[in-house]
Each structure stands twice: as structure tokens, then as C-alpha cells.
Amino acid sequence: MEAHNRNEPFGLKFSTFLLAALLALTAVSPSAQAPDVPSILVSRQLAAREGLTVGDEMRLATDVRGERSRTFRIAGIYEPTPDPMRLGSVPLSVRMHLPDLLALTRDAAVPAGTEHVEAINVALADPADAETFSRDFNARAPGAFARPTSRATDSATTFVVLERFHAAIAAVTVLAATVFLLALTVMLVDERRETVGVLRLIGLPVRRILLQVLVEGVLVAGLGALFGLLLALGSEGLINRFFQWRYDTALVFVRITPRVALICLAIAVPLGAVATVVASWALLRRGGLRLARR
């Protein structure tokens, strides 16, 4: 063994020593030069208000006196998830890892690892299995309760009530608009009574005139519905940008979806055609001579 050490080349010994020294320096230098500062994310609104950027360090505490504060490094800036229930309040918030949150908020008398959890969110591969999963979980875990998040909070119930309220307002609006449209159509058709009288006198049957009026009503109603949809699509971006600027949020206030467009067409075109036919039928019940006279 000694003979082998004496015959070992000096360059190999020096290279081995240098490699070991570099590894030791690499293992020691990070902890000695840069302390382990946990990272957090800050909301865009908080970063803009306080002038924070990525890489800055900030101290957080759970009380106004700043006791038991901890230092965190900003790893990124995020856009908060839009929440209609918090509309009007600026989201000045941060996101941190769960161990850091527990260490910051844990009471001094509570040992680490003994914290309790009030709720856990579970993401399913198929959201349609939410009801089945909740039934199975409730049957296998006595003392715990699982339910889909779509109806797990009071805010979800609030939005259901608002949706029904909007549906009621929409129904009343459509009914009032139908009455106004019918009155307007009656006035417009009455102005054409001489033309209708001439058509009756030259021998056109009432059914032929009604068919012509129906086609005309469908065309006018269709063009009006398309104009309304184009106007809504054109103003959608302006409305969203204004209110997003006003409330400093990414919430979408107006969205014209294909389903909404189809519903509008399905309501507007038949109502316009029916209003035209009803108004014309009341006019066609008169005789041709009575309609054509001046």
C-alpha cells in the first residue's frame, strides 16, 4: 500500500485534491453567501401600488405591529382570478407556499404539523363525475362532507338567484318590446292601406298578400336582428375595457356567445314576422274599395 502511494503520480494527487476542494466549496458557498429566502407571488394591483418588481424582498406579518414578521422574495407577479363578489375592492394579495403560510400564521403554542384543515379542493379528471364522487366520499368518510363547488358556497346560490332575476327581466323586456313592435307595425301597415287596396282590386287573393307580407316581415326582422348583433359585438369590447379600467379587474362584463346570438335570432325573427302578419290581417279584413278610397 505504501509502495503504491509512493509510485502514484503527483499530478493525479493534485487533481484529486483540487476536485474535492471545488466540490466542498460548491456545497458550502450557497448557504454561506445567500440565505434561504422563501419566494412568493404578488398580485398585479399590489405590485403597481407599492412599486414592487420581481426579485424584491418584502417583510410580511400577521399583525399591524409587524411582530413575528418574515422576509420573502418576489418570484413573480400574477393577475388575480376575477371574482364578481369582490367587484369594487382592489385585490392586494400575495400567494405563498403552504409551509411558509403555516409558519407565518401558526400560533406559537401550536406545534408544527398539528394544524387542522377546514376544506380541501379536489380537481376531477371529468367534472361530470362530481356528484358520484361526492356520494362515494360521503359514504366512505364519516365526519367529512363533500359537495361540488358549483353549489358549495353562498356566492354560487347568489349567482343562481341573479340568473333567475335576469331571466325574469328579459322576459318582461321581450313582452314589452313585442307590444311596442305590434303597435308600430300596425301604424306602418295602416299607411300602406291604399297599396293593399289596389292589390285586392286587381285580383290578388288575401293569402297571396299575406304571404308577401310574411316574407317582407321575416326579411326586415332578420336584418334588424343582425344589425342588433353587430352593434352588440362592436360595443362588447368597449364596455369590457371601460369597466375593467374602472374597477381594475380582468372580469369580463359582456360576452356575446354563439348561444346568445342564436337565442336572439330565434326570438327576434319570429316575433317580427308574427307582428307583421297580425297587423296586416287586421287590415286585410276590410274590403278592397274601402282600402283604396281616399
Shared domain for 126 and 162, answered yes or no, is: no
**pLDDT tens sequence across 127-185:** 888 888 888 988 888 888 888 876 555 555 677 787 888 889 988 988 888 888 778 77
Position 130 in a domain: yes
Position 49 in a domain: no
Position 23 in a domain: yes
Shared domain for 142 and 163, answered yes or no, is: no
Shared domain for 176 and 281, answered yes or no, is: yes
**pLDDT tens sequence across 213-253:** 788 888 888 888 899 899 999 999 999 999 988 888 888 88
Q: Which residues contact 58 (CB under 8 A, 6 or more apart)?
A: 40, 42, 52, 71, 72, 74
**Mean per-residue pLDDT for 265-281?**
83
pLDDT band at 41 (very low <50, low <70, confident <90, very high): very high
Shared domain for 140 and 174, answered yes or no, is: no
Position 274 in a domain: yes
Shared domain for 255 and 287, answered yes or no, is: yes
Position 198 in a domain: yes
Shared domain for 135 and 161, answered yes or no, is: no
| Count of domains observed in the chain | 3
Position 183 in a domain: yes
Domain that holds residue 20: 2-33
293: pLDDT strictly greater than 50: yes
DSSP bridge pairs for 77: 42
Please say whether the beta carbons of 69 and 142 come within 8 A.
no
Position 13 in a domain: yes
| This prediction's pTM | 0.57
